[in-house]
Amino acid sequence: MDVSKQLSETRNANHLRLRTLIRLRTLAIIGQCIAVVVVGYGFEFPMPIASCFLLIACLALLNLALRLVYPANHRLSPTMSTIVLGLDILQLAALLYMTGGLENPFSILISVPVIIASASLPVRNIIALGVIAVAAVTALAFYHLPLPWYPGVTFDAPLLLVIGMWIAIVSTSAFAAFYAYRVSAEAGELADALVATEFALQREQHLSALDGLAAAAAHELGTPLATITVVAREMERALGDDERFGEDVQLLRSQSERCRDIMRRLATLSSTEEAHMRQLPLSSLIEEVIAPHREFGVDISVKHEERTGTEPIGHRNAGIVYGLGNLVENAVDFARSAISLHTVSDADTVSITIEDDGPGFAADILPRIGDPYVAGRPRGGKPSAGGLGLGLFIAKTLLERSGAELKFSNQPGGGAHIEVVWPRVAMEMREG
C-alpha cells in the first residue's frame, strides 16, 4: 500500500464513528428523561411534560433509525455527521424553548455537539454547526416559554444575566471547540508521521530482505548458469556458421555471459574492489550504465549539457550504477525503437533524464511507481516478462539512498519520462 493511501485511511479513521455517536445520544436521552421526570414529577413544577417527552422520543427514534440503517462500526461522512449533530442542536434548542431558554441551567449543553464536531470534522463543518448553535442560543435569549418554577410564581431572570449566559455559552463553545480541534489536529499529524515512518521502515526491510535474496540467488544460480554457458559454447562451435541458428546461438552465449556478470555484481555489490576506478566522471558513469544495453536493437542517444563548464566527477557508487542501469534496462524493454538520456549539470544540481518511445506508464499505476510488487506498463510490441515491480523498487530505493529525487511521468506524445536529480555536492562527495 502506498503512503498516500495509508494516510487517507488514517484520516478516514478520524471520522465520527456511528457507535460512539449512538452511545453519546443514548446518554443524552437518559439525562433528558431524568431531568424532565425530576422537574415535572419530583418538584411538581408546571411544564409541558408531554411535549418534552415527544421531543425526546424523536431523538430516540432517530438513534434507532441510525442503528438499523448502518452497521455499528460505520464511520459517518463529514456531511452526514454535520446533519446528525445539527439535528441534535435543534432538538435540544426546542427542549430548552419549552423549559426557560437560556434561564435553564442546562442550556450550556448546546455547546456539546459543536465540541464533538471539532474533534472529528473539517473546519467548514465545525463552522456550520457553530453558526447553528449561535443562532439557536440567540433565538432562545428572546423567545422561550417560562422557566418551570413553583406554582403561582414566575421566575424572570434579569436581562444582564441572560446576556451573561449567552456570552458564556458562545465563548465556551468557541474555546472548547478550538481546543478540541487543535488536539485532534496534532494527533492526526502524529498519526500521519507514524504511517510515513512505518512505510519507510517497510521499504528498508524489503530492501534488506532482497539483499539476502540476491546473495542466495547468486549462489544457487551459479551452477545451472555455468552449465548453460558450457552448452552454449558447444552449440556455438557446432552451429556458429549456420545461417539459421548461428546468430541465435551467439546471442544465447553472450546473454549467458551477461547473466554471469550480473550474478557476480550482485554477489559483490558492496565490495571495495577496483579502488583505482572509484573516481568516475558523469559521462563515464552513463557509458558504463548503457553499455550492456546497446545490443538489443534499440537506439540509445546520449546528450550531455554542462552549464558550469566542468563535468561532475564523483566516487563510483555501485548503488547508483545498479539503479540507473535498471531504469535504462526498463526503458529498453518497453521502447519501440529508441531511448534518450539527457544529463544536465550546473553549480547546484546534477540531473539525468531518461525517455523512451514506448507506451508510457499506465495512468492508475503512475502514482505508485517504485512501490514493491507494482507493475503495469504494456511492453512495446514485446512479450511481457511478468515482472512484479521489484526492479523499479530496488532502483528507486538505491538512488534515493544516494541523495537523489526521482520523478516519473509520461511524455505528451507518449512514452515514459524519468528524471533523477541529485544535489551536486551529494553526487561528487558520496563514497561507494
For the ranges 131-135, 159-163, 421-425, which has the lowest average pLDDT? 421-425
Where residue 64 falls among pLDDT bands split at 50, 70, 90?
very high
344/404 Cα distance (integer angstroms): 14
Q: Count CB-CB contacts under 10 A for residue 375.
A: 19
Band of residue 382 on the pLDDT scale cut at 50, 70, 90: very low
Does residue 377 have a pLDDT over 90?
no
How many other C-beta atoms are found inside a 10 Å radius of the C-beta of residue 63? 19
- According to the model, what pLDDT value does residue 155 have? 86
Q: Count other C-beta atoms under 10 Å from residue 91's C-beta.
A: 19
Higher pLDDT, 352 or 211: 352
Is beta strand 349-356 parallel, antiparallel or unpaired with respect to 405-410? Answer: unpaired
Distance, C-alpha 57 to centroid of its chain: 43
Half-sphere exposure of 203 (CA within 13 A, CB side): 19
CATH code assigned to 272-429: 3.30.565.10
Secondary-structure breakdown of the chain: helix, strand, coil percentages, each rounded to the nearest 5: 60, 10, 25
Count of CA atoms in the C-beta half-sphere (13 A) of 256: 21
What does the pLDDT average to over 134-149?
Answer: 94
Q: Is 345 strand, coil or helix? A: strand
Distance of alpha carbon 15 from its chain centroid, rounded? 17
403 touches 423 (CB < 8 A): yes
Q: Is residue 170 scored above 60 in pLDDT? A: yes
Average pLDDT (290-301) is 85
β 349-356/279-281 pair status = unpaired
Question: Can you tell me the distance from the alpha carbon of 359 to that of 6, in angstroms, rounded to the nearest whole number?
Answer: 29
In the structure, what pLDDT confidence band is assigned to residue 28 with cuts at 50, 70 and 90?
Answer: very high
Who's near 366: CB < 8 A, 6+ residues apart? 408, 409, 410
Looking at the predicted structure, is the pLDDT value of residue 58 above 50?
yes
Given a cut of 60, is residue 8 above it in pLDDT?
no
- Alpha-carbon distance of 296 to 36, in angstroms, equals 86
- For the chain, domain boundaries: 3-197, 221-269, 272-429
DSSP 327: H
Mean predicted confidence (pLDDT) in 381-394: 55
Among 90-99, 111-120, 204-213, the range with the most confident prediction by mean pLDDT is 90-99
Q: Residue 342: CB partners within 8 Å, gap ≥ 6?
A: 302, 303, 305, 352, 353, 355
Q: Which residue has the cell 511492453?
A: 379
Distance separating alpha carbons of residues 358 and 369, to the nearest angstrom: 16
- In degrees and rounded to multiples of 5, residue 388 shows phi and psi of -105, 5
Residue 7 has pLDDT above 70, yes or no: no
- Confirm if 420 and 406 have CB atoms less than 8 A apart: yes
Q: Band the pLDDT of 264: cuts 50, 70, 90.
A: confident
Q: Which three cell numbers stand for residue 244?
A: 539459421
List C-alpha distances in Å: 40 to 34, 44, 48, 374: 10, 5, 9, 67
- Lowest mean pLDDT: which of 379-383, 407-411, 413-417? 379-383
